[in-house]
Amino acid sequence: MSRFSRRAVAIVLAGASIVIVGLLFWPDMRTEPMRLGAPVPPSFAQNVSTGKSVAEQLSEAFESAAERVGPSVVPIYAEKTVERTDEMEMFRRFFGDQLPGDGEEGGQQMRSMGSGVIARADGYILTNNHVVAGAQRLRVVLEDGKQYDAKIVGTDPPTDLAVIRIDAKNLPVAQFGTSENLRVGQWVIAVGNPFQLLHSVTAGIVSARGRSSIGVAAYEDFIQTDASINPGNSGGALADLDGRVVGINTAIASMTGTNAGVGFAIPIDMAKLIMEELINEGGVTRGYLAVLPQDITEELARALDLPSREGALVGSVTPGGPGDKGGIERGDVIVEFNGKKVKNSSGLRSEVARADPDNTVNLTVIRDGKRKTLKVKLGERPSEVAQNDRERNQQPEGKLEEEFGLALQELTGESARQLGYENARGAVVAGVKAGSPASDAGLSRGDLIVEIDHKPVQSAGDAERVLSSVKSKDTVALVVRRGENTFYVPLTRGSGVSPSSQR
């Protein structure tokens, strides 16, 4: 067969295939050939009509949800004299600043706007703590334009929630739903007042649940959404398509400070509990274990020979605290709290915080590869105390620099007094090289290494001998003390190449 003949056969076969596909998937072609200017086939028009009907139904669902929740979401104007640059930056980060002026004693008067959700008809409004914190004056504007001065009922910085009240009655109250049954992919709307644009509504989906380590609050269990949240939305409502509030909009993750499709809301189930305590008690009491939990990384799981990364690893136990009295030990992995699975340290903190002080709870732990159930009577969590930041890096010089990027020194009487390690033993971290395995592990100058691979460390020499025996690329588990707390750190030995010389 000639080249021309093969090409002709191929063209004929291709044409026949197109006709067959057309007959199978466009039934009207079998009864009425397509002609230029011919009317659109009825099936195609029907599909367009069906699609339009579905789109209209979805639009009506958004419209109905916005109408239901919209009147209960109000703008909150806060006036505050800001003295320090870091406070001003926080203001701008969350809701921008408007109309700055001269404050007293050289401070700057900042006027900002956030949002709130009317929780009760007699004037109680739920919002974020950072919206109202430090404000000298708060004003709320209702949908009908009426303005009211507001007073703070109570605040809870650990969850970034607050309740304020205005002297008004018969207010439009939001319908609170539940966040327990939210599903990833579910449609939601965000209602608030971004950039002073009152009563704005944006739509998106639930992108994720249980987000933590965002750095906004001490207790984080956020709903993540791609519904646009911008400065001014803080304290507003995240609602489902029935108009029920399922979250309180709180923060965004963005390089620019504006929406990047990653917003976070406090689950309404948590917010309702905090709100009721703030209204009834003026403050929040929380359960307390007096242990320091931490997440289990792949390196830690490998170094400690743990079966999985699930659970909360106990890095330290406060002597004489509720956890210590209940039998919790450093190195335990808490996997259940009162029968509920514990996925990570954030989950454990949230469960403990929600429990009432003086309650006795059942904790399931993994210790030496075996499950064990402990009965622990919770205490009451003391007031939050800010920890001193000692994250000061220094270029280390010593034998361990090349493999770990780490310099150690002996714990002397003088250094023990300065660092608060009296009557302790171990090796003091004298320096951490930037970009090194020690830096990646989170070690800092001033840390005290007290244990390596379950072996107590009595001195810098002990630590150096154990670390020197670690093979290249192997990982060991360190127990590190920082201040009054201890925690586990997975440290991997490098390949013998100084990080600063890599290209």
Confidence of residue 378 (pLDDT cuts 50, 70, 90): very high
pLDDT at site 142: 92
Cα gap 428→434, rounded to integer Å: 18
Q: 315 with 227, same domain?
A: no
Residue corresponding to tokens 């930041």: 389
Confidence of residue 394 (pLDDT cuts 50, 70, 90): very low
Pairing of strands 485-492, 448-452: unpaired
Cα gap 133→78, rounded to integer Å: 9
Token output for 424: 């302790």
Q: 114 with 191, same domain?
A: yes
407-452: per-residue pLDDT in tens? 887 877 767 777 888 888 888 888 888 778 888 888 888 899 999 9
Cα gap 452→459, rounded to integer Å: 12
Q: 81 with 215, same domain?
A: yes
Q: Is the pLDDT of residue 5 over 70?
A: no
Q: 111 with 146, same domain?
A: yes
On whether the CB atoms of residues 210 and 223 are closer than 8 A, the answer is no
More confident residue, 71 or 257: 71
DSSP codes, 64-101: HHHHHHGGGEEEEEEEEEE-SHHHHHHHHHHH--EEEE
Q: 344 with 376, same domain?
A: yes
Q: Is the pLDDT of residue 99 over 50?
A: no
Write the CATH number for 148. Answer: 2.40.10.120
On whether the CB atoms of residues 430 and 460 are closer than 8 A, the answer is no
Q: Is residue 490 part of a domain?
A: yes
Q: 365 with 414, same domain?
A: no
Pairing of strands 147-156, 137-141: antiparallel
Q: Is residue 40 part of a domain?
A: no
Q: Is residue 8 part of a domain?
A: no
Q: 62 with 96, same domain?
A: yes
Write the CATH number for 415. Answer: 2.30.42.10
Q: 188 with 277, same domain?
A: yes
Q: Is residue 46 part of a domain?
A: no
Q: Is the pLDDT of residue 205 over 50?
A: yes
274-312: per-residue pLDDT in tens? 999 999 988 888 899 988 888 898 888 888 888 889 999
Q: Which of 380, 413, 434 is the last residue of a domain?
A: 380
Q: Which residues are catalytic?
A: 130, 160, 234
Number of domains in the chain: 3
Q: Which of 349, 380, 411 is the last residue of a domain?
A: 380
Q: 302 with 191, same domain?
A: no
Q: Is residue 425 part of a domain?
A: yes
pLDDT at site 469: 80
- Containing structural domain, residue 69: 57-283
Q: Which of 241, 262, 283 is the last residue of a domain?
A: 283
- Say how many C-beta atoms besides its own lie within 10 A of residue 330's C-beta: 18
pLDDT at site 58: 82
Q: Is residue 429 part of a domain?
A: yes
Q: Is residue 86 part of a domain?
A: yes
Q: Is residue 395 part of a domain?
A: no
Q: 363 with 424, same domain?
A: no
Q: 275 with 131, same domain?
A: yes
Q: 374 with 412, same domain?
A: no
